[in-house]
Amino acid sequence: MIRWNDRWRFSMQVLSLNPIRTAILVITVAIGVSSVLILTSIGEGARNYINQEFSNIGSDLLIVLPGKKETGGGSLPMYSTTPRELTWQDANAIKQLSSVKEVAPINAGTALVNYQGLGREVIVIGSTSDFLQVRKLSIAKGRGFKQDERQRARHECVLGAKLKRSLFGSQSAVGKWVNIADRRYRVVGVLAERGESLGLDMRDMAIIPISSAESLFNTTALFRVIVSLNQFSHETTVKQQIIELIKARHEGEEDITIVSQNAMMDAFNNITQLVTAAIGVIAGISLLVAGFLMMNVSYVSVVKRRAEIGLLKAVGASKKEVQWLFLQESSILTLLGALVGVALGYSLVWLANTLIPYFSLAVPFWATLVSVLSAIVISIAFTWFPASNAAGVDPVIAMRGN
Amino acid sequence: MDVSPIIQLKDVNKTYLLGEQPLHVLKDLSLSISQGEYVSIMGPSGSGKSTLLNMIGLLDRPDSGELMLANSATRELPEEQRAVLRRDNIGFIFQNFQLIPRLTAEENAALPMMLAGIPIADRKAKIAHLFSQLGIAERLHHLPKQLSGGQLQRVAIARAMAMEPKILLADEPTGNLDQHSGGDVVDVLETLNKSGITLLVVTHDIALGRRAKRQLMMVDGVITKDSVSEG
């Protein structure tokens, strides 16, 4: 049996004799491996981004939605309509629970926000002073809403940073009056720049007190209620407490749905992981193409080296040895290609992260492992037939050169 | 000298298909060659002499009959065992040298040892010794394209001798050499034979064939003459 170092040296001599062929195959594998790494890094980057957004908001949150999620019958889960709306009074009752820290009732709609002829149609959120705390938002200029009960109906607003820039440019907005729909609101604060949060651009919205929003949108029905838990409260227990509380307030009818931040995070995680894996598989097709190219080149190599194969067999190489030599050549090429591909993939991801710092790509470790292993398995599978073909060469005929 | 038969063929037949026409190359051929014999096989083209050599070298299998090599039946042996038997007992010398162009003379000669898993240090020592014996000591690191025909055939002889085989099979060993180089190569082969190696030479060259102690003449797959020279 040939020693591994001799087999390695023998293969390297063959590969170095055909530098262009070797380079083409290495590049082909490298492209396949780096494609898998780059595309899965986008999926992983998206997953990290979502996780980061959730952790910015905090994972100790419950979101109370009006209506009961129906899972029986029908093709998709539906939120049934409910005769009773979820109101600010319900939110206030939830706040009385000892297990609850903050409660932000949300009444939302879109409206035109206007200042001296400059206007923007934006999302207007009606809430309480707790809203800034539960969404982990901070004020750059001015103040938020006060906790005073009487503040709930005041005509005050807090503007997102982008909205403030659109309407006021570099001027100070605090203390100025803007029109939201047909009402006048005094700007009491401007939010700090933060970017998007779960698809909602916090920079491009206005926040007004809850009662004021009820009047503006002509409804007391809340869009949802965000509840943050006390440090030692147990999520499941609090959920049950809220359900019981609202059930009692709504004449015994369980007509709300509670989604926990953790459950949403898990769901997003599952989806993004699935999407990342699917993207990886699609990118893996390029590895198959590399495999076909390797098979083709190996067949050509077997034909060109028939005399050599015949000689090896004549001086004592078994069929298995000859097959191993060819398989090893393709394995070395694949390993080289995989190494180059990993280096290329990580370099491009690093470059992308340098150029686009606000969306961080991250190569998942499993993608590195799977892409390299897949490349090796594919190369062995695709070189198997040419290698078997080489092993079957008749030495007598091969050495005659026909 | 051990005179027990090292090669024995009993009623060996071999047929090839030439298109759809069967070509009966060896016909009920029986032959016994003792250890240390010097045998030449002569005959016209297509007489079956190369096929006989390939059969003895375990590169080909008989359709029927049996080939015994060092008292071992070989016809039914699996390919892996035949490869080992061939590597350890038989050295080949070809008309066109059959050296691998990208390997140095030393690497070419050491090929059977490499296939046998012998460590590189032992290989180098053995090949250096053989090259020295064959008068090409300074050619160890030359590529085949840098060597003359005579030197190439000496490298091929070193390769054939690397595993210290019992049998040397030479197919037209001087066919691609000028008279002087050819003579030198034959001298080397005869020296090896005198050291106890069984030597079989297939040749068209009557003069070369007559240098062998035992001369076989083949025609149409049959040995028509088996003679031992007086000298």
Q: Residue ranges per domain, chain B?
A: 7-228
Taken in order A33, A37, A38, A40, the sign of the CA dihedral is: positive
- Look-up of token digits 């691609």: B176
Measured CA to CA, the distance from residue B124 to residue B132 in angstroms comes to 12
pLDDT tens for chain A, residues 1 to 402: 888 889 888 888 888 888 998 999 899 999 999 999 998 998 888 888 887 777 766 668 888 988 876 544 444 445 555 567 889 889 999 999 999 999 999 999 999 999 998 898 999 999 998 888 888 888 999 998 887 655 567 889 999 999 999 999 999 999 999 999 989 999 999 998 865 555 567 888 999 999 899 989 999 899 999 999 888 888 889 999 999 999 999 888 888 899 887 787 888 888 888 888 888 888 888 888 888 888 888 888 888 888 888 889 888 888 888 898 888 888 898 999 999 999 999 999 999 999 988 788 889 888 899 999 998 899 888 888 888 888 888 887 776 654
Q: CA of B51, closest CA in chain A: separation in Å?
A: 9
* Bridge partners, residue A102, by sequence: A228
Measured CA to CA, the distance from residue A276 to residue A273 in angstroms comes to 5
Q: Do B115 and A316 touch (CB under 8 A)?
A: yes
Measured CA to CA, the distance from residue B219 to residue B228 in angstroms comes to 18
Q: What is the pLDDT of residues B154-187, one digit of tens each?
A: 999 999 989 889 999 999 888 888 888 888 888 8
Q: What is the pLDDT of residues B16-53, one digit of tens each?
A: 888 888 889 999 999 999 999 999 999 998 899 989 99
Whether A241 contacts A99, CB under 8 Å: yes
Structure confidence at residue B109 (pLDDT): 95
Asked if B124 reaches chain A (Cβ–Cβ under 8 Å), the answer is no
Measured CA to CA, the distance from residue B106 to residue B83 in angstroms comes to 22
How many Å is the maximal CA-CA distance in chain B?
A: 52
- Closest CA relative to residue A85, chosen from A316, A253, A301, A324: A253
Greater model confidence, B4 or A235? A235
Interface test with A, best of B18, B50, B85, B100 (most A CBs within 10 A): B100
Interface test with A, best of B54, B82, B114, B143 (most A CBs within 10 A): B114
Q: Do B120 and A6 touch (CB under 8 A)?
A: yes
pTM: 0.68
Whether B152 contacts B40, CB under 8 Å: no
Whether A276 contacts A284, CB under 8 Å: no
Residue numbers in B near A10 (CB within 8 A): 114
Whether A17 contacts B102, CB under 8 Å: yes
Asked if B77 reaches chain A (Cβ–Cβ under 8 Å), the answer is no
Measured CA to CA, the distance from residue A208 to residue B33 in angstroms comes to 110
Q: Do B100 and A308 touch (CB under 8 A)?
A: yes
- Residue B83 confidence (pLDDT) above 80: yes
Q: Which two tokens stand for residue B52?
A: 């006989």
Element (H or E) spanning A166, and its range? helix A161-168
Domain B7-228 -> CATH class: alpha beta
- Look-up of token digits 């503006």: A216
Measured CA to CA, the distance from residue A93 to residue A89 in angstroms comes to 6
Whether B41 contacts B33, CB under 8 Å: no
**Residue A345: φ, ψ to 5°:** -60, -50
The residue of chain A nearest to residue B98, with distances taken between CA atoms, is: A311
Q: Residue ranges per domain, chain A?
A: 4-53+266-400, 84-254
Residue numbers in A near B60 (CB within 8 A): 396
Q: Do B79 and A318 touch (CB under 8 A)?
A: yes
Q: Do A315 and B115 touch (CB under 8 A)?
A: yes
Measured CA to CA, the distance from residue A309 to residue B135 in angstroms comes to 29
Structure confidence at residue B225 (pLDDT): 93
* Bridge partners, residue B168, by sequence: B91, B199
First to last CA, chain A: 28
Structure confidence at residue A255 (pLDDT): 86
Q: Which two tokens stand for residue A401?
A: 């050169």
Residue numbers in A near B79 (CB within 8 A): 318-319
Q: Do B80 and A320 touch (CB under 8 A)?
A: yes
- Closest CA relative to residue A374, chosen from A280, A310, A272: A280
Residues 180-199 of B with CB under 8 A from A: none
Residues 2-61 of B with CB under 8 A from A: 54, 57, 59-60
